[in-house]
Structure 1
Amino acid sequence: MSPLRATATSRGRRPALVALVCVLVAAVLGAVAVAAFHALSGPESGPSGKEPVPGKSSDGSGNEGGSEGGDADGGEAVTEREPLQQGTGLYPRAIRLRHSGAANGHVLASTVTFRGADGLGAIHESTDDGRTFRRVGDVADPAAADGKGQCCGTLYELPRRIGDMPPGTLLWAASTGQDEDDGRRMSVRVFKSTDVGRSWSYLSTVATARGEGGGAGLWEPEFSLDAHGRLVCHYSDETDPAHSQKLVAARTSDGRNWTGHHATVASVPEPDRPGMAVVRRLPDGTFFMVYEICAPSGKYRCVVHYRTSEDGWDWGDPAGLGTRPETADGHYFAHTPNLAWAPEAGNPEGKLLLIGQAAHTRDGRRVPGERREMWTNSDGGKGPWQEKKAPVPVRSTKLDHCPNYSPSLLPSADGRRVLEIATDYDGGVCRPYRAMGPT
């Protein structure tokens, strides 16, 4: 988690003040009414073996259920930014369904929001490729109720059977418990839906902090499948006294029992804080992870890095910090990265789309106009990245928990367009906005 809620040595330990402000704003504005539920789940489909890779999935789409590909009509239309929802909406995520029968092609988006003092995962659906959305469900976790706190939700569609869960099962996970009055006991909890996001039930807990390290946190869950078809959850862990924060991965073969918890990025200097991992699988089977590494001070505070893995589980020496993506003129991203893969005509590798909260020049200055910037790379992340205009203009220049904080990218099937959801201030409210533009 970026140091936008606290100091670098305590960052990620989200201040109760921020959560209280969000709760009060949501209480004033009220929750958006939930649209009428209707069942759209389709028949089981998908493989029972390894995770599909782009261009090689069982349905021919090349999607694994993350921010990858989908619209059939292509085109390069640009749309104006519009709010995804009324009121507070944090940490947006977007996926396009590929394993959900009659709902295939629908776009689902999620945010962390509040109803009074209760944290919620708001689920929105688009049946027209992201042009319009309606709210269709809520993830209501009792562990996030009554002001206990919730952060950093993620949304994922299973591309294959995991335990008794068929392909198309939706998963939602978040960090909960950061604001408990009787001592922080944060956990990463997973919920599932079998009716395209209309209803949700508790599935499992990936990890629980149990107050180690004086109320240390567990943040920013992210799902992927490893090369053997096991479900992996990546998250940021503050519970190791030797590390202010490190990245950890755990895996499961049934969705309920999580094992093998191990560090994937753990910097040797104790104050360093690797966090906010996002993982995508490339057409050649390589797994690509982006993340930030924050430090107490210096030019590269919270700079974005990446590393790769052959199997999505073993990421090499955790002390290796990875590679810093840069443009040809030395620009780099800092804070809250997100990543997507898109096909590219004539290039079997496709291209990666990268975005972060703030872009900086070689000498550490903020890039003018950078709040509408994303990058692409057509060589598997190697070499310089190309600067492009991001679809959503973010008008606030603040560096805190709201403007452009962990935006989400969802490319079209032909890779020519991308849907972006990014947060920005509307008065004192942090709202998610959506727009579409060329890649």
Structure 2
Amino acid sequence: MRLRAILVVLISALSVAGAVTPAQAAAGTEVGAGMYPRVVRLQHSGAANGTYVSSSVAFPADRPHGVARIYSSTDGRNYRTIATISDSTASRGICCGTLYELPAPVGTLPAGTLLWSASFGGDDHSASRPMVIRVWRSTDRGRTWQFLSTLATARNAGGLWEPEFSIAANGRLVAHYADETDPDHSQKLVQVTSANGVDWTAPADVVAVSNRADRPGMPGVRKLPDGTFLMTYEICGPTYSCATFLRTSPDGLRWGAVTAAGTRPATADGTHFRHTPTIVLKGSTIVLIGQVLVNAGGTAQNGNGGAILVGTLGGTWTQRAAPVTVAGPVVGSPGPVQNYSPSLVFSADGRTLVEVTTADKAGLSTVYAGTAAF
């Protein structure tokens, strides 16, 4: 999806268009103003294991540019601010933050290191002022942060968006992101790898479909218990209308035919997600969420804004209620607020599903959190 307005522009657009109202705020616990929420449950941090750490991109009035807000929670629903990441590069725009806990050492980075990354320069980029994706690290469970590296620099005026991390079978750190710099593709998904989190390879194509106008984006990778790596992503543009797709890899690096769209997860009656997908695993069970839930005909499905799809690789999918309910994601033009780019994680015992997502509150994109028995 490509609607990258910063919060000030977003507020103006919402006010003019009347797209959402305060009554459409989420049924969840308010975390704070922000976009692109992410949540992880610490699993490699010793005594802190089980703590939830969340991030979002925010545009506070007392700051000259956007920042990352870092939050902590013991129950997955109630959060307190523990840190702010302020990168001076954000003066040219900041977008699409992500959060990841290293499950194993990478170079000198110990297991349990938190990585936060985002796209920078989207409001003012050209061939001479290219966009970059930068990485920050924390070794104290998110309380303090240090700049680590630039994992990608645009080769021209095109954009670089939506980084997400994983660890390949060979132990290398992998970053997937959406790339607009190839003249043969409006957008494609690429990957870079690193042995230390500092030095990164050149990008390699992962999804670059044959119709130039189609736009794969919003990647996310998880590892199944049998060692298979599972990727979810959207393909916007004329062919697929931002539908969600899946593909697999034996090692987290080889993802099959680059030009193939992948497999679209859907219920027996054709219900599926469009826009901003993400997945979380409970054993081999896959829980999928996205921004807009549609039926086989492409119109809003009952439960839109408050649903998940649950299934297995190659198996059937069923619709269930999500931990947070957000009103108003509109099919065709959902915008970057209502239920935009939600994030999921399970509790340590697997019995509780935690969600963070966004909704409008008085003209501000606001993060909400919720939990549900699973």
TM-score by length of 1: 0.78
Q: Summarize deviations over 1:320-378 as a string: whole Å, max 9, x none.
A: 111000101111111000100014xxxxx3x110001111111111113311110111x
Higher mean C-alpha deviation, range 407-416 or range 131-140: 407-416
2:346 and 2:27 mapped to 1: Cα distance? 17
The residue that corresponds to 2:144 in the other structure is 199
Q: Is residue 270 from structure 1 mapped to residue 205 from structure 2 by the alignment?
A: no
What do you get for the CA RMSD once the two structures are aligned? 1.9
- How far has the Cα of 1:124 moved from its partner? 0.2
1:156 and 1:317 mapped to 2: Cα distance? 27
The residue that corresponds to 2:71 in the other structure is 124
Q: Summarize deviations over 1:247-278 as a string: whole Å, max 9, x none.
A: 00000001110014201000011111000001
Q: Is the 8 A contact 1:354 1:376 kept in 2?
A: yes
1:153 and 1:301 mapped to 2: Cα distance? 24
**Which of 324, 330, 346 is equivalent to 2:270?**
330
**Which of 371, 387, 409 is equivalent to 2:319?**
387
Unaligned runs of 5+ in 1: 6-13, 26-78, 344-348
The residue that corresponds to 2:169 in the other structure is 227
1:433 and 1:321 mapped to 2: Cα distance? 32
Unaligned runs of 5+ in 2: 14-25
Q: Summarize deviations over 1:283-325 as a string: whole Å, max 9, x none.
A: 00000000001113x5x31110000000000111111111000
- How far has the Cα of 1:80 moved from its partner? 5.8
- Identical pairs, percent: 46
Q: Secondary structure of 1:263's match?
A: strand
1:224 and 1:238 mapped to 2: Cα distance? 22
- How far has the Cα of 1:193 moved from its partner? 0.9
- How far has the Cα of 1:180 moved from its partner? 2.1
2:125 and 2:176 mapped to 1: Cα distance? 27
1:414 and 1:167 mapped to 2: Cα distance? 21
1:94 and 1:279 mapped to 2: Cα distance? 15
- How far has the Cα of 1:438 moved from its partner? 2.4
The residue that corresponds to 1:427 in the other structure is 362
1:257 and 1:412 mapped to 2: Cα distance? 33
Letter in 2 for 1:306: L
**Which of 84, 93, 102 is equivalent to 2:31?**
84
The residue that corresponds to 1:370 in the other structure is 304
1:224 and 1:335 mapped to 2: Cα distance? 21
**Which of 105, 122, 138 is equivalent to 1:161?**
105
1:131 and 1:288 mapped to 2: Cα distance? 27
Q: Is residue 315 from structure 1 mapped to residue 247 from structure 2 by the alignment?
A: no
Q: Summarize deviations over 1:28-56 as a string: whole Å, max 9, x none.
A: xxxxxxxxxxxxxxxxxxxxxxxxxxxxx
- How far has the Cα of 1:139 moved from its partner? 1.3
Q: Is the 8 A contact 1:406 1:422 kept in 2?
A: yes
Q: Is the 8 A contact 2:41 2:347 kept in 1?
A: no
The residue that corresponds to 1:151 in the other structure is 95
Number of aligned residue pairs: 356
1:410 and 1:181 mapped to 2: Cα distance? 34
TM-score by length of 2: 0.91
Q: Is the 8 A contact 2:41 2:346 kept in 1?
A: no
**Which of 262, 287, 291 is equivalent to 1:357?**
291
Q: Secondary structure of 1:118's match?
A: coil
- 1:262/1:181 CA distance change after superposition, 3 Å: closer
2:327 and 2:299 mapped to 1: Cα distance? 18
1:96 and 1:103 mapped to 2: Cα distance? 10
- 1:254/1:130 CA distance change after superposition, 3 Å: same
The residue that corresponds to 2:21 in the other structure is none
Q: Is the 8 A contact 2:27 2:326 kept in 1?
A: no
Higher mean C-alpha deviation, range 218-227 or range 194-203: 194-203
1:134 and 1:361 mapped to 2: Cα distance? 38
Higher mean C-alpha deviation, range 96-105 or range 152-161: 96-105
